[in-house]
Chains A and B, each alone.
Chain A
Amino acid sequence: MAHFRDEDARAIIREAYGQVRSDGTAVASTFYSPEELSALPKGAVELALGVGQPVRCAELRPGEVVLDLGCGAGIDTLLAARAVGPAGHVVGLDMTPEMVERARRNAATAGLDNVKVRQAMIEEIPLPDASVDVVISNGVLNLSTRKSRVLAEALRVLRQGGRLSIADLVLDQALPEDVLKSPAALAG
């Protein structure tokens, strides 16, 4: 049962992620190796808010085109950009203008010109059919109230044989109602 209307959920998430500040690397250190982190701008590492490491599982190859859904400040976008090299490119999408700005800045700081970051909703991916080799996402799918729509859009933009690698949180047991109604729990 939905505890928030679509527009309310989006507003809560947009506000939470637009205002988030961090001066630590606790999250990034959980999922990424020291070698991976040392090659990334501080701005991307400190605002890593994902829940796994989808780039590692995506087995990216040079020359591939990658789409990062809900890219945030860009840690996975930048790792993917390094993996696919100058013959490939990465598109990062995020609905939060502050995160789009941060991701663009982090890509520039990293010297990566095979990255494009756009403000967009992951339920309406602004890319042509069959234009992407790999779709990645990290801790974002659960933030959408239209998960099947997001997955259908991911399928649409993937080429035949294209791959998906997404990290998110799943439940083995239900959470209490009080937690499910909490805006803080929704944004997290």
Chain B
Amino acid sequence: MKKLFNVGFEEVTVAERRPFGLDELTRYPLFAPDFIDFMRKVMPPERHHELVFSIVVTARKRVGEAPAPQPH
């Protein structure tokens, strides 16, 4: 979120947020069963249902101002 403001966006808003745990990972063909097993062993049980959060962020480009500096 901070990166969006720093680059020059405004009205930065988290439009959606939901937990993403091991059950969600098993749906993705990118993750092999042995990777899921690895995550189950490495991550504490209390985090299995909430490893990360999936969010949708919306933002807007300013109107009427000079462009923000471009980072390299």
Contacts and interface: CB of A to CB of B under 8 A. Distances in A.
Given A57-B15, A168-B55, A147 B43 contact: no
A162 B64 CA distance: 12
Interface in A19-36: 20-22, 24, 26-27, 30
Interface in B26-44: 27-32, 35, 38-39, 42-43
B56 A52 contact: yes
B63 A187 contact: no
B45 interface: no
Given A49-B28, A166-B57, A155 B7 contact: yes
Looking at chain B's contact residues, is the secondary structure mostly helix, strand, loop, or mixed?
mixed
Contacts of B42: 176, 178-179
A165 B71 CA distance: 21
Given A164-B59, A167-B54, A169-B54, A155 B9 contact: yes
Interface size bucket, B side? 35 or more
Counting chain A CB atoms within 10 Å of each CB, the highest count among B6, B25, B28, B64 belongs to B28
B30 A57 contact: no
A147 B3 contact: yes
A51 interface: yes
Contact of B25 (A22, A173, A175, A188): A188
Interface string B48-66: 0011111111111111100
- The 10 lowest CB-CB distance pairs between A and B, nearest first, are A26-B27, A57-B15, A22-B29, A158-B61, A151-B7, A184-B35, A164-B59, A169-B52, A160-B63, A51-B54
Interface of B: 3-4, 6-9, 15-16, 18, 20, 24-25, 27-32, 35, 38-39, 42-43, 47, 50-64, 67-68, 70-72
